[in-house]
């Protein structure tokens, strides 16, 4: 089977859209359709149903998808292993990076990597930490740099690089800003804007209040911390955010309560790291030692 056809098939299946898959692969929609048609002709079965602009896998497509993913991964791993025999870092390094880390921690490291390894192409996807974790677990990304999971899978190797203290914050003119020694009970009287409960950060905050038996008032949620910062600034509620996002906001004095996230990288235990990945992780480890 042609690898480009398999890649097109996998991408359409993941996107649920021919046009979105074309955009992701930087080719035309007609080229995507041609590759799928070639694969269907070779297999002798229809792979997708297209009804009212909805694209879904047929039974044959569902059977093929996991096998196609394995074939493509093995092919890519073989090419990478051959390239790595030279001892040089070449090829493509697929990274999954959380939005927050991509903005606030990794730009200098990515710049240094690009300068130090000019023969490596970076394929970076920015996403929620939870999705990045799954990408590594499924072999779709070689390394992820994320908020580390509260509970780790046995096939995932994780390493903490940074502690990320979290601060209770509100707008400068919010009623909570006038309290000299606020308590968790005081916070519960006002709306909170949280990262989603499906995120590691959201669960850290929720667990804190659950342990104290304090219900939170009508939480609003979004997974984008920068959006939360803006919503807090205009007075829609209070929140808990990393120190990097508290500018222009009131930090409530909760000296008796300390909560933080652990930030770092993960990779699959059963996957041999490419020379490029090893070089990238060495740069991150060096950043840890620099503080």
Tell me the pLDDT band of 1, cut-offs 50, 70 and 90. low
Task: Choose one of 69, 87, 120: the last residue of a domain.
Answer: 69
Average pLDDT of the residues in 207-215: 89
Asked whether residue 225 is assigned to any structural domain, the reply reads yes
pLDDT above 70 (res 79): yes
Q: In which residue are the tokens 């070449």 written?
A: 90
Asked whether residue 280 is assigned to any structural domain, the reply reads no
Residue 196 confidence (pLDDT): 80
pLDDT in tens, 104-144: 899 999 999 999 999 999 999 999 898 999 999 888 899 99
Asked whether residue 281 is assigned to any structural domain, the reply reads no
Separation between Cα atoms, residue 19 and residue 133, nearest integer Å: 26
Q: In which residue are the tokens 């080719």 written?
A: 27
Task: Choose one of 34, 69, 104: the last residue of a domain.
Answer: 69
- For residue 31, give both structure tokens: 């080229």
Task: Choose one of 69, 84, 103: the last residue of a domain.
Answer: 69
Does residue 6 contact residue 32 with C-beta atoms inside 8 Å? no
* Domains held by the chain: number: 2
Asked whether residue 56 is assigned to any structural domain, the reply reads yes
Phi, psi (degrees; rounded to nearest 5) at 250: -85, 125
pLDDT above 70 (res 291): no
pLDDT above 80 (res 219): no
How far apart, in Å, are the Cα atoms of 189 and each of 41, 63, 192, 215? Answer: 63, 52, 9, 9
| CATH code at position 197 | 3.40.190.10
* Residue 195 belongs to domain spanning: 164-259
State whether the Cα torsion 151-153-156-157 is positive or negative: positive
| CATH code at position 39 | 1.10.10.10
Residue 138 confidence (pLDDT): 85
Asked whether residue 192 is assigned to any structural domain, the reply reads yes
Does residue 98 contact residue 127 with C-beta atoms inside 8 Å? yes
0.75 exceeded by pTM: no
pLDDT in tens, 24-63: 888 999 999 999 999 999 999 999 998 877 889 999 999 9
Q: Are strands 259-268 and 156-170 parallel, antiparallel or unpaired?
A: antiparallel
Asked whether residue 131 is assigned to any structural domain, the reply reads no
Asked whether residue 91 is assigned to any structural domain, the reply reads no
Give every CB contact of residue 254 below 8 A, 6+ residues apart in sequence: 168, 182
């Amino acid at each position: 089977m042609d690898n480009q056809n398999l890649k097109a098939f996998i991408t359409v299946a993941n996107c649920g859209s021919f046009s979105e898959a074309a955009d992701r692969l930087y080719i035309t929609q007609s080229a995507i359709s041609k590759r799928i048609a070639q694969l269907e002709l070779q297999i002798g079965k229809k792979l997708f149903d297209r009804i009212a602009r909805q694209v879904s896998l047929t039974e044959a497509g569902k059977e093929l998808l996991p096998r196609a993913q394995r074939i493509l991964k093995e092919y890519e791993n073989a090419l990478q292993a051959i390239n790595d025999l030279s001892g040089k870092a070449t090829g493509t390094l697929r990274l999954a990076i959380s939005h927050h880390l991509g903005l606030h921690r990794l730009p200098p490291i990515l710049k240094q990597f690009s300068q130090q390894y000019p023969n490596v192409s970076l394929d970076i996807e920015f996403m929620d930490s939870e999705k990045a974790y799954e990408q590594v677990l499924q072999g779709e990304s070689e390394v992820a740099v994320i908020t580390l999971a509260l509970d780790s899978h046995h096939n995932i190797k994780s390493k903490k690089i940074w502690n990320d203290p979290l601060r209770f914050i509100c707008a400068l003119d919010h009623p909570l800003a006038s309290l000299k020694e606020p308590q968790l009970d005081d916070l519960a009287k006002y709306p909170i804007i949280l990262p989603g409960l499906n995120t590691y950060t959201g669960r850290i905050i929720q667990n804190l209040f659950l342990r104290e038996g304090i219900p939170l008032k009508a939480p609003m949620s979004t997974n984008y911390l920068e959006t939360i910062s803006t919503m807090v600034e205009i007075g829609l509620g209070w929140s808990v955010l990393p120190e990097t996002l508290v500018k222009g906001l009131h930090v409530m004095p909760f000296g008796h309560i300390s909560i933080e996230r652990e930030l770092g990288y993960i990779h699959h235990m059963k996957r041999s790291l490419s020379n490029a990945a090893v070089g990238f992780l060495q740069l991150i480890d060096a950043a840890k030692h620099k503080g």
